Amino acid sequence: MLSATSLEPVRARFERGVTSSKPLYQGVVKRGFDLMVAGMVTLVVLSWLIPILALLIRLSSKGPALFVQVRSGRNGRQFPCLKFRTMTYNPGAEFKQAEKVDSRVTPIGKFLRKTNLDEMPQFLNVLAGHMSVVGPRPHPLPLDAMYWHVMPGYKDRYKVKPGITGLAQSRGARGETREAHQMKLRIRYDRMYIRQQSISLDARICWWTVKAVFKGNKNAW
C-alpha cells in the first residue's frame, strides 16, 4: 500500500536541483507535445484498435462500446471524457467507484482496466483540446463534489488540463480512493507534477505508464 513516506524519494528526485520550465511548457510546447503524441497514437494505434475492441465489447455485453462521462477539466470546465466501456451497461446507475471485486466489470473490461487500454479513446480528447497526454487524472463529478471544498489542495489539480496519465498514476497512486489518505497522496503527486512539469518529465511518465501496462497495474481493477 502506498503511503506518504513512499512519496519522499520521488519528491527528492524531482525537486532537488530541478528548474521547472512550467510557464513556457504550459503553452505552445506542451500543446505541441500533446498533438504529436496523440496524433501518432491515433493514426498508428487507434485506427485499428477502436474497431477491434468495440466489437469485442459489444459481443461480450449489451450496450455501447464507448462510455462517455462528464468530468472536470482545466479551471473546473466540464467536458465529455471518453473511455471504452468496461462495466455492464446501466445508464440509470448511481456513481460508485470500481472495487477490487466488482460484479459490474465485464471479463473484457477487467483486462482493459488492468492494462489501461480503457483510457485509449482519451487521445481523441487530447486532439480536441480537452485534455493533455500527461497531467492530473480527471475525477468523476461526484468525487469532485466530495473533495473540492474540504480537502486542501484539491482544486489546485485543475489549474492545468487533466491528463490521460499522470505522475500519481505512474507511481501507483491510482484506483479506488476509499480512504482520505489515498486521495491526499494523489493530490501531493499532482501538485508536485504541476510545479515541476517539463517535456522530459512528461516523456518519463509516458514511459513509466507503458511499462506498467506490461507489468500490470497493482491498483487497477
pLDDT at 17: 38
pLDDT at 176: 66
Phi, psi of 117 (to 5 degrees): -65, -20
- DSSP string spanning 108-130? HHHHHHHHTGGGTTHHHHHHHTS
Strands 78-84 and 66-72, by their bridges, are: antiparallel
Contact call for residues 221 and 110 (beta carbons, < 8 A): yes
Question: Which parts of the chain have pLDDT scores under 50?
Answer: 1-21, 221
pLDDT tens across 154-207, in order? 999 999 999 999 999 888 877 666 788 888 999 999 999 999 899 999 999 999
pTM beyond 0.85: the answer is no
- DSSP string spanning 31-89? HHHHHHHHHHHIIIIIHHHHHHHHHHHHHHSSS-SEEEEEEE-GGG-EEEEEEE--B--
Residue 161 grid cell: 488540463
Cα–Cα distance for residue pair 110/130, rounded to 1 Å: 26
Angle at 152 between CA 70 and CA 201, to 5 degrees: 70
